[in-house]
Structure 1
Amino acid sequence: MTGLLGPAEIRELAARLGVTPTKKLGQNFVHDPNTVRRIVATAGLTADDVVLEVGPGLGSLTLGLLSAAAHVHAVEIDPVLAGTLPETAKAAGADPGRLTVHQADALRVTAAEVGAPGPTALVANLPYNVAVPVVLHLLAELPGLRHGLVMVQKEVADRLVAGPGSKTYGIPSVKLAWYAAARSAGRVPPNVFWPVPNVDSGLVAFTRREPPRGDVDRRRVFAVVDAAFAQRRKTLRAALAGWAGGADRAAAALVAAGVDPGARGESLTVQQFAAIAASATMGTPAAE
């Protein structure tokens, strides 16, 4: 594996660049080589994979990914960090031709901006404050992403992998399930980061699959999901009234989909949400 960055190298590099991690950008840099090795191994990358990394920061994970994949696209919003990454990779012995750095916001980056070769895997230490919308945006924008492993706040990881009936099951769980099968891939302690966060992190692995239904638009399904969890203690008949154009219309759509109008959103699978969207005649598409 390409030479990795330890705590001393991370701090020296940050000092040389005049970089101070900021909460605004959700910057917590991994400085433990063993954690990097663990993430790369757990990601299950092949020599043919093209990795999309979000928020590479000082490059600790990037160096590990360059040793395991054919190419790495690194999306970094901080211009100083983005400009330094190729130099860091070269100094560590990596082939700079296998790294493309995009100084961009991952919440807005497009497939055209990423370009070729097209990413097949998402592996990233995601900023806590934007982790869920980033994952959902990239899965929607880059259909070539077949699998991935993301490190997020443990609480967020639990939500992403939760199943129906769980207290942590909600909008992130259902929307990720639209795109992929997800599972927990372990816990990451705070002391492997600089600065040290006040929460544990968790690894979430996912494998893309076909959407539950091909006859209904994703945005229509997500509108149902958003409405169902907006007031999660309400029955679906009541929660979906605004979306469907009235409680009676919501009940009719639910019955047509084979769902009890007295049920709550937390008990439904993504397949059932898709069935409700397909059976309804009204609804307003939601954002990702």
Structure 2
Amino acid sequence: MWEAHPVTHEHPGEAAQGLLTPVDVRTLAEHLGVRPTKALGQNFVIDGGTIRRIVRAAGVAAEDHVLEIGPGLGSLTLGLLATGADVVAVEIDERLATALPGTVARVAPEVAPRLAVVHADAMDLTGVLDRVGHPTRLVANLPYNVAVPVLLHVLQVLPSVTSALVMVQAEVADRLVAPPGSRTYGVPSAKAAWYADARRAGSVGRSVFWPVPNVDSALVRLDRRQPPTTTATREATFAVVDAAFAQRRKTLRAALAGWAGSADRAERVLRAAGIDPTLRGERLDITAFAAIAEAAAAEAGSEA
């Protein structure tokens, strides 16, 4: 049976504070037969200081109910539980999901009762909402290859989540927090803005992971706010966003032609929404995209 590594002079505080040491992480992975894969985006955090920094940036308190996506071997899970919060961890890898409760019980038995583990795909949370409950915060080291879809899905299906702190690839972080008009503004920026205000909460070095990734990472903090005031649905608004950025070098009149049915109709809808048809999508905020969707629906209704 795997046992937590004792405190050593190299990592004097981590085991004492109920966190996994780097040796623990590697030993546990070997015990479980886990070989981190790029397909699942598995890069495990091995630095206790980084874990504590993430928890602080997330603002987790004892009264919170935290949703963690992709807990892996449990490094961040233990840090979250140390705050006194309840944690629901959703893990797609069955071996990791099965092992996590035992790991927590061995490393920090006093916090184990506050952990619930769900073996599920985070992109299909609708099927496990009865077990997830009503989390107030999302905190996660998200797999690079699915970070944006997972984040948007959680914000959509779990309105109880009022804030999120996610660790993602630095390039993805830049896109999530980009304002209209910036070089990195695009679909992730606009769609995230429907749900929340997003900002960078710091950079994360490569050396805190095992295995060491080939890209830099960053923390993004999102605080939920009300969506734009509009009669347009989220689905209709997001369809406009997708169309506008599918050909981002084109003017909105041209980029939205397929979505609208013709360039002429796209121009009519844009003018009805009070938007210059010669602009590009990167100049619009989420409120403007909603206005376009609302204008399109109004025109369709008048023609019916």
Q: Tell me which interval the TM-score lies in, with the shorter structure as reference length.
A: over 0.9
Q: Which of 120, 140, 143 in structure 2 is aligned with 1:104? A: 120
Asked whether the equivalents of residues 135 and 161 of structure 2 are also in contact (C-alpha less than 8 Å), the reply is yes
Structure 1: tracts of 5 or more residues without a match: 284-288
Corresponding residue SS for 2:19? coil
Corresponding residue SS for 2:297? coil
- Match for residue 71 of structure 1? 86
- Match for residue 293 of structure 2? 277
Q: Evaluate the alpha carbon distance shift between residue 87 and residue 230 of structure 1 in structure 2; reply closer, same or farther with a 3 A threshold.
A: same
Structure-2-length-normalised TM-score: 0.90
Deviations 1:173-199 (A, max 9, x none): 000000000000010000000000011
Q: Evaluate the alpha carbon distance shift between residue 69 and residue 269 of structure 1 in structure 2; reply closer, same or farther with a 3 A threshold.
A: farther
Amino acid at match of 1:24: A
- Cα distance, 1:134 vs. partner? 0.1
- Cα distance, 1:111 vs. partner? 6.7
Aligned 1:22-171 pairs, distance under 5 A: 22-93=37-108, 94-110=110-126, 112-115=128-131, 117-171=133-187
Structure-1-length-normalised TM-score: 0.95
Q: Does 1:7 align with 2:22?
A: yes
Q: Does 1:260 align with 2:276?
A: yes
Q: Which has the larger radius of gyration?
A: 2
- Cα distance, 1:281 vs. partner? 3.0
Q: Which of 197, 206, 215 in structure 2 is aligned with 1:199? A: 215
Deviations 1:103-158 (A, max 9, x none): 01101122753536411100000000000000000100101000010000000000
Corresponding residue SS for 2:236? helix
- Cα distance, 1:52 vs. partner? 0.6
Q: Evaluate the alpha carbon distance shift between residue 185 and residue 114 of structure 1 in structure 2; reply closer, same or farther with a 3 A threshold.
A: farther
Amino acid at match of 2:193: A
Q: Evaluate the alpha carbon distance shift between residue 5 and residue 78 of structure 1 in structure 2; reply closer, same or farther with a 3 A threshold.
A: same
Quote the sequence identity (%): 62
Corresponding residue SS for 2:214? coil
- Distance (Å, rounded) in 2 between the aligned partners of 1:112 and 1:26: 22
Asked whether the equivalents of residues 228 and 265 of structure 1 are also in contact (C-alpha less than 8 Å), the reply is yes
Aligned 1:179-190 pairs, distance under 5 A: 179-190=195-206
RMSD in angstroms over aligned alpha carbons?
1.5
Structure 2: tracts of 5 or more residues without a match: 1-15, 300-304
Aligned residues: 283
- Distance (Å, rounded) in 1 between the aligned partners of 2:25 and 2:203: 22
- Distance (Å, rounded) in 2 between the aligned partners of 1:166 and 1:122: 27
Asked whether the equivalents of residues 245 and 282 of structure 1 are also in contact (C-alpha less than 8 Å), the reply is no
Asked whether the equivalents of residues 244 and 282 of structure 1 are also in contact (C-alpha less than 8 Å), the reply is no
Q: Which moved more, 1:111-120 or 1:57-66?
A: 111-120
